[in-house]
Structure 1
């Protein structure tokens, strides 16, 4: 099938990359002002190609096309781009143009696997996020209680303490926050080290581990589907061979019956003469 062929997929992927390059060039005012009309023509061409892709896939897959979330996303982006083409909402049209780049995900199966594993991990990530909020809140209250006088800029109140903890979790200049406090409070080492260990190493590894675990389970499911398909193909081949064998046997029976009829006719002819 042409729509599902590798050649067609690679062509659409190439158009997505070229469309992304054009969108990137439009962000430079000097280049955009010099080639604005050309960029608009390219945009119409890419939109026409993506529209044709959607139409062909709808014709081939029919209702099954809209059961796939990625196909539905592509359809909405293309349809919205056509709807806002002549509108005054330029910012919305630009956002839709950028969203076309996400068609790369729907075209590359490995990217779809990663995004699928990420969505599968959302319930667990939500629980981890709740646990992280609790950890941040506890350490924020402790920091505002013990370090407010030593560093009022960073730990003057709960909100300042939470912002400082977020900065420490991203390792953004956290050493300069820690050193002035450590000069007056040696026990602050325990505070900072335990927070970094819990908020960064433990929580981040939990999130990454959950995503990797889901990503590892997806190929196993795919391999099971492939194995099932191969088994069905093997069974079909066996059934086909049996049908062919039955046809050969029927052909032989017809040949034997024909010979027997000819012999009977010959004997009858001889008896009459």
Structure 2
């Protein structure tokens, strides 16, 4: 009975919203502490940061123990991938590796402690699972983007090779130029280069044409949907 009451207390602590927020705060503070260690600081400040780091690791161990003891069946704790991830991160963080040759590994592992946010916040886990399920569709999106890039790179290489062979000399360079324009890297330099060779109003006419094409399609789709809804209403009336 005493063990059951103790387990109920651990379960209440684990499901407590304030405890969850406190753990999230400690994880964020841990991430800030890792970033602070990248600066050159006095030895006293380094000692304080190392002490805080050990306190954070000890707190994570206590938090992990509470989550383990709150399980009705202790083996169920190890059925979750995120519990295994938390356990490995916490145990490696507790190893005294600061003055050894593997100190770099210990620091890198402590950087990954911020990923414990995923195991603490259910919404982040749902988002991650959704992203993993969307990876196959994302591959088709990337394939479609490559096809579009390839077409416009071929067109650009054909039309603009004589104007600027450095940017449009072949299909490979044209692909790189389009990627740089898409990421806004020096795209204004490309613009000024072509404005000195062609009439500037050419791009305005092209933009108007593109707007007309893309605005006509939604109008046609909405018109078709209106006709379908009208036909459905007529069928409903006559039936």
TM-score by length of 2: 0.67
Matched residue count: 193
Cα distance 1:80–1:144, how it changes in 2: closer, same or farther (>3 A)?
Answer: farther
Q: Does 1:50 align with 2:60?
A: yes
Unaligned runs of 5+ in 2: 1-10, 212-239
Q: CA deviation at 1:97?
A: 1.4
Indicate whether 1:37 and 2:50 are aligned: no
Deviations 1:144-200 (A, max 9, x none): 33323312232233332222111111233323313422543569859x97xx99xxx
The residue that corresponds to 1:73 in the other structure is 85
- Point out where structure 1 has 5 or more consecutive residues left out of the alignment: 198-273
1:92-132 deviation digits (Å, cap 9, x = unpaired): 22221111112223222333333333223222112111221
- Residue 21 of structure 2 corresponds to which residue in structure 1? 10
Aligned to 2:186: 173
Q: Aligned pair in 2 of structure 1 residues 48, 127: CA closer, same or farther (>3 Å)?
A: same
Which one of 47, 53, 64 corresponds to residue 76 of structure 2? Answer: 64
- The CA distance in 2 between the partners of 1:32 and 1:146, in whole Å, is 60
1:152 aligned partner:
165
Greater helix proportion: 1
Deviation at 1:34, TM superposition (A): 4.3
Which 4+ stretches in 1 moved above 6 angstroms? none
Kindly state the Cα deviation for residue 16 of structure 1 after the two structures are TM-superposed: 1.0
Give secondary structure in 2 for the equivalent of 1:48: helix
The answer to whether the Cα contact below 8 Å between 1:182 and 1:189 also exists between their aligned partners in 2 is: no
Q: Does 1:99 align with 2:99?
A: no
User: How far is 1:36 from its partner?
Assistant: 0.9
Q: Deviations over 1:225-245 (max 9, x none)?
A: xxxxxxxxxxxxxxxxxxxxx
* Kept in 1: contact 2:30–2:56 (CA 8 A): yes
How far, CA to CA, are the matches of 2:140 and 2:91 in structure 1? Answer: 36
Counterparts in 2 of 1:36 and 1:151: CA distance versus 1, 3 Å = same
- Structure 1 length normalisation: TM-score? 0.60
